[in-house]
Structure 1
Amino acid sequence: MARYVTTTLPYVNADPHIGFALEIIEADVIARAWRLRGEEVFFSTGADEHGQKIWEAAERAGKNAQEYVDYYAHEVEKLKEALSLSTDHFIRTTDTAHKEAAQEMWRRCMEAGDIYKKSYTGRYCVGCEAYKTERELDAEEHCVLHPSLTLEERTEENYFFAFSKYTEQLLAVLNTPASIVPEWRREEAVRFVTEGLEDFSISRKKEKLSWGVPVPGDDTQVMYVWFDALTSYLSTLGWPRDGNGLYEKFWVNGTTLQMAGKDQVRFQSLMWQAMLCSAGIKNTDQVFYHGFINSGGQRMSKSLGNVISPYELVEKYGTEATRYVLLRHVHPTEDSDVTWERLDEWYTANLVNGLGNLLARIMKLAETHLEKGIDQPEEDDFDPKYWNSLDTFEFSQGMDLVWSKIQVLDERITREEPFKLVKSDPEAGRKNITELTHELYAVGRLLAPFMPDTSERIKEAVLSNKKPENLFPRLS
Structure 2
Amino acid sequence: MAEPFYITTAIAYPNGKPHIGHAYEAIAADVIARFQRAQGRDVRFQTGTDEHGLKMAQKARELGMTVRDLCDEMSAHFQAMCDALNISYDRFQRTTAPEHYTASQAIWRAMADKGDLYLDRYEGWYSVRDEAFYDESELVEGEGGVKLSPQGTPVEWNVEESWFFRLSAYGDKLLAYFEANPDFIQPESRRNEVISFVKGGLRDLSVSRTSFDWGVPVPDAPGHVMYVWVDALTNYITGLGYPEKTPEMEKWWPANIHLIGKDIVRFHTVYWPAFLMSADLPLPKTVFGHGFLLHRGEKMSKSLGNVVDPLELAETFGVDALRYFLMREVSFGNDGSYSAKAIVTRCNAELANSFGNLAQRTLSLIFKNLGGELPEFNGNSFQEEINLAEIQYKELAEGLIPLFEKMDFSQGIDCWMRAVYACNQYIDAQAPWKLKKENPERMKDVLAMLFLQLRDLAIAIAPVIPDSANRLLDQMGIPADERNLGSIYENTLDPYTWYERLRQSGFTLSQPVGVFPRLEMPVDAD
Aligned to 1:217: 220
Aligned mate of 1:77, from 71, 76, 79? 79
Task: Report the Cα offset of residue 309 of structure 1.
Answer: 2.2
Tell me, what secondary structure is at the counterpart of 1:407?
helix
Q: Distance in 2 between matches of 1:177 and 1:353?
A: 42
Corresponding residue SS for 2:140: coil
2:19 is aligned to 17
Q: Which residue of 2 aligns with 1:180?
A: 185
Q: Hey, what does 2:463 align to over in structure 1? A: 449
Distance between the aligned counterparts of 1:441 and 1:475, measured in 2? 24
Q: 2 CA distance for matches of 1:327 and 1:334?
A: 12
In structure 2, the gaps of 5 or more residues are 378-391, 478-507, 521-526
1:239 alignment partner, one of 234, 239, 242 = 242
Identity of aligned residues (%): 37
In structure 2, how many angstroms separate the alpha carbons of the residues matched to 1:376 and 1:459?
Answer: 19
Instruction: Write the distance in 1 (CA, Å) between the matches of 2:284 and 2:66.
Output: 35
Using the TM superposition, give the Cα deviation of residue 80 of structure 1 relative to its aligned residue in structure 2, in angstroms. 3.1
Superposed displacement of residue 34, structure 1: 1.7
User: Are 2:155 and 1:151 equivalent residues in the alignment?
Assistant: yes
Q: Match of 1:307?
A: 307
**Are the counterparts in 2 of residues 331 and 396 from structure 1 also a CA contact under 8 Å?**
yes
Distance 1:62 1:376, change over 3 A: farther
> Which residue of 2 is the match for residue 229 of structure 1?
232
**2:40 matched to 1:38?**
yes
Deviations 1:213-244 (A, max 9, x none): 1111112111111210100010011111244x
Query: 1: distance between equivalents of 2:285 and 2:295?
Result: 33
Residue 385 to residue 201, structure 1, CA distance change in 2 (3 Å): same
User: Is residue 2:509 matched to residue 1:465?
Assistant: yes
Larger Rg: 2
Q: How far apart are the structure 2 equivalents of 1:134 and 1:389?
A: 42
For residue 204 of structure 1, what is the aligned residue in structure 2?
209
For 2:340, the equivalent position in structure 1 comes to 340
Give, in angstroms, the shift of residue 135 of structure 1: 4.0
Aligned partners of 1:275 and 1:241: how far apart in 2?
18
Kindly indicate whether the alpha-carbon contact (under 8 Å) linking 2:375 and 2:448 is maintained by their aligned counterparts in 1: no
Q: Which residue of 2 aligns with 1:160?
A: 164
Deviation at 1:393, TM superposition (A): 0.9
Instruction: Report what 2:271 is aligned to.
Output: 271
The question of whether the paired residues in 2 share the 8 Å contact of 1:373 and 1:462 is answered with no
Q: Counterparts of 1:54 and 1:226 in 2: how far apart (Å)?
A: 14
Match of 2:445 in 1: 431
> Unaligned stretches of 5+ in structure 1?
none
CA distance in 1, matches of 2:17, 2:420: 36
Report the 3-state secondary structure (helix = DSSP H, G, I; strand = E; otherwise coil) of the residue aligned with 2:123: strand
SS of residue matched to 2:148: coil
Aligned Cα root-mean-square deviation (Å): 1.9
CA offset at residue 450 of structure 1?
1.6
Does residue 169 in structure 1 map to residue 213 in structure 2? no
Residue type at the aligned position of 2:125: R
Aligned counterpart, 2:388? none
**What is the distance in 1 between the residues matched to 2:242 and 2:369?**
59
Following the alignment from structure 1 to structure 2, what is the Cα–Cα distance between the partners of residues 69 and 407?
48
| Contact 1:423–1:429 (8 Å) recurs in 2 | no
- Kept in 2: contact 1:369–1:430 (CA 8 A): no
Contact 2:372–2:510 (8 Å) recurs in 1: no
Matched, 1:413 2:427: yes
| TM-score, structure 1 normalization | 0.94
TM-score by length of 2: 0.85
* Letter paired with 1:78: A
CA distance in 1, matches of 2:315, 2:52: 30
CA distance in 2, matches of 1:83, 1:23: 11
Q: Is the alpha carbon distance of 1:154 and 1:375 closer, same or farther for their aligned partners in structure 2, counting shifts above 3 Å?
A: farther
Counterpart in the other structure of 1:475:
519
Q: Deviations over 1:123-174 (max 9, x none)?
A: 11111111111343224441121x2x43111111111111001011111221
Q: Give the Å deviation of 1:358.
A: 2.1
1:280 corresponds to:
280
| Aligned residue identity for 2:249 | Y
8 Å contact kept, 1:447–1:454 = no
Q: Which residue of 1 aligns with 2:482?
A: none
Q: Which position in structure 2 is the counterpart of 1:122? A: 124
**Structure 2 residue corresponding to 1:67, chosen from 66, 69, 80:** 69
**Contact 2:375 / 2:445 at 8 angstroms: preserved in 1?**
no
Q: Distance in 2 between matches of 1:468 and 1:223?
A: 58
Q: CA deviation at 1:374?
A: 4.4
Match of 2:502 in 1: none
1:260-304, Cα deviation, whole Å (9 max, x unpaired)? 111111100000000000101011111111100111221011211
Cα 1:354/1:302, change in 2 over 3 Å: farther
Asked whether the 8 Å contact 1:177–1:183 carries over to 2, the reply is no
CA drift of 1:448 comes to: 2.2
Paired with 1:383 and 1:473, the residues of 2 have a C-alpha distance of 28
SS of alignment partner, residue 353 of structure 1: helix
Change (3 A) 1:374 1:189: farther
Supply the distance in 1 between the matched residues of 2:473 and 2:162 (Cα, whole angstroms): 59
Tell me how far apart the structure 1 counterparts of residues 242 and 47 of structure 2 sit (CA, whole Å): 16
Amino acid at match of 1:399: I
- In 2, the alpha carbon distance for the partners of 1:70 and 1:4 equals 26
Letter in 2 for 1:22: Y
Q: How many angstroms apart in 2 are the aligned matches of 1:109 and 1:334?
A: 35
Contact 2:376 2:445 in 1 (8 A): no
Question: By how many angstroms is 1:102 displaced?
Answer: 0.4
Deviations 1:108-130 (A, max 9, x none): 11111111111121011111111
Alpha-carbon distance, 1:181 to partner: 1.2
Larger mean CA deviation between 278-287 and 458-467 belongs to 458-467
Q: How does 1:367-406 map to 2 (within 5 A)?
A: 367-374=367-374, 383-406=397-420
SS of the equivalent of 1:116 reads strand
